[in-house]
Amino acid sequence: MEFILLQTAKHAYLEQAAQILRQAFPHCYADCAQEEVREMLEEEKLAIGAVRDGRLAGIIGAIPRYDMTAWELHPLAVEETYRSQGVGSALVAELERRLRERGCLTIYLGSDDEDGSTTLSEGNLFEHTYEKIQNIQNLKKHPYTLYQKLGYRIIGVLPDANGLGKPDIWLGKSLVRQENKM
């Protein structure tokens, strides 16, 4: 697998990036995937593609926040036929490597639960918030488990962010503190 910077990638890869977004998040990008790819390419951002067999297998992006010390991971998507083969994990690792070089201390992301994929969708998340985070269970393959395997921790939630019982789950990882390094 080869990693490429999407900012300097050929047009065909950008078309494939848009298609990967459409496929992964149809409810968000069905008719604005190209615009989202263009936003990923903005100068201050980082956008990486994973190429396998001459095709784009997955993409990952990051946005500098808090100056350059904390970056938001957004988006991450792997083309369906390449899933569960380590492409997503490899993209996260490559992004972290490049962000460390840019002085990033903390990487974080929001991962929505809009369809009851975790126990955080049950009841009022404003009540017993921390207890519920500690006891979270994955009900329908929510990607927070993937991030946990890669050393991320749940650092917060935004209850009802996407509607009642549809929270955003915030995960973060230190790129410098030894105890959090993978």
Ligand X SMILES: CC(C)(COP(=O)(O)OP(=O)(O)OC[C@H]1O[C@@H](n2cnc3c(N)ncnc32)[C@H](O)[C@@H]1OP(=O)(O)O)[C@@H](O)C(=O)NCCC(=O)NCCS
Question: Where on the chain is the footprint of ligand X (CB under 6 A)?
Answer: 24, 76-78, 83-89, 111, 141-143, 145-146, 149
* Minimum gap (Å) between residue 173 Cβ and ligand X: 13
Shortest Cβ 50–ligand X spacing (Å): 9
Q: Given the complex with ligand X, which of 67 and 143 has the nearer CB atom?
A: 143
> Which is closer to ligand X, CB of 124 or CB of 145?
145
Q: Of 83 and 98, which has the nearer Cβ to ligand X?
A: 83
Report the residue number, 27 or 178, with the smaller CB distance to ligand X. 27
Q: How far apart are CA 143 and CA 38, in angstroms?
A: 25
- Which of 116, 143 has the CB closer to ligand X? 143
The minimum distance between CB 34 and ligand X, in angstroms, equals 18
Provide the minimum distance between the beta carbon of 41 and ligand X in the complex, in angstroms, as a whole number.
19
CB of 81 to ligand X, least distance (A): 11
Taking the C-alpha atoms of 90, 91, 97 and 98 in order, what is their torsion angle to the nearest 10 degrees?
Answer: 160
